[in-house]
Amino acid sequence: MVRQLSLLPAPGRSQDAVLRTVEPALRACLAGEAPLAVLPAGPAAAVDAARAVLRPEEALEDGADLVVVSSGSAGRGRGVLLPASALVASAAATLERLGGPGAWLLALPASAIAGLQVMCRSLVVGCPLTVLEEHERLADALARMPGGRRYTALVPTQLRRYLDAEPDALRAFAGVLVGGAATDPALLERARRAGVAVVTSYGMSETAGGCVYDGVPLRGVRVRVADGVEIAGPTLAVGYRCDPDGTAAAFVDGWFRTRDAGSLDADGHLTVHGRLDDVVVSGGVNVAPQAVEAVLREHPEVADAVVFGRPDDEWGQRVVAAIVPAPGSEPCLGALRPWVAERLGGPAAPRELHVIAAVPLLHTGKPDRRGVAAAVLGG
Query: Mind giving me the DSSP string for 11-48?
Result: --S-HHHIIIIIHHHHHHHHTTSS-EEEPPPS-HHHHH
Q: What Rg, from alpha-carbon coordinates, does the chain have?
A: 21
Instruction: Please report the pLDDT score of residue 202 as a whole number.
Output: 95
pLDDT at residue 72 tops 80: no
Rounded Cα gap, residues 308 and 74, in angstroms: 13
Q: With left for phi above 0 and alpha for psi between -120 and 50, is residue 99 left, alpha or beta?
A: left
Instruction: Please report the pLDDT score of residue 74 as a whole number.
Output: 45
- The mean per-residue pLDDT over the stretch 5-22 comes to 93
pLDDT at residue 366 tops 80: no
pLDDT digits (tens, 9 = 90+) for 207-220: 999 999 999 999 99
Instruction: Please report the pLDDT score of residue 73 as a whole number.
Output: 46
**Mean per-residue pLDDT of the chain:** 92
- The mean per-residue pLDDT over the stretch 112-119 comes to 95
pLDDT at residue 283 tops 90: no
pLDDT digits (tens, 9 = 90+) for 309-319: 998 878 888 99
Percent of the chain with pLDDT over 70: 97
- The mean per-residue pLDDT over the stretch 349-356 comes to 94
1 or 80, greater pLDDT: 80
pTM attached to this predicted model: 0.83
pLDDT digits (tens, 9 = 90+) for 26-41: 999 999 999 999 998 8
Pairing of strands 150-154, 175-178: parallel
Rounded Cα gap, residues 155 and 211, in angstroms: 16
pLDDT digits (tens, 9 = 90+) for 287-297: 888 889 989 99
- The mean per-residue pLDDT over the stretch 135-157 comes to 95
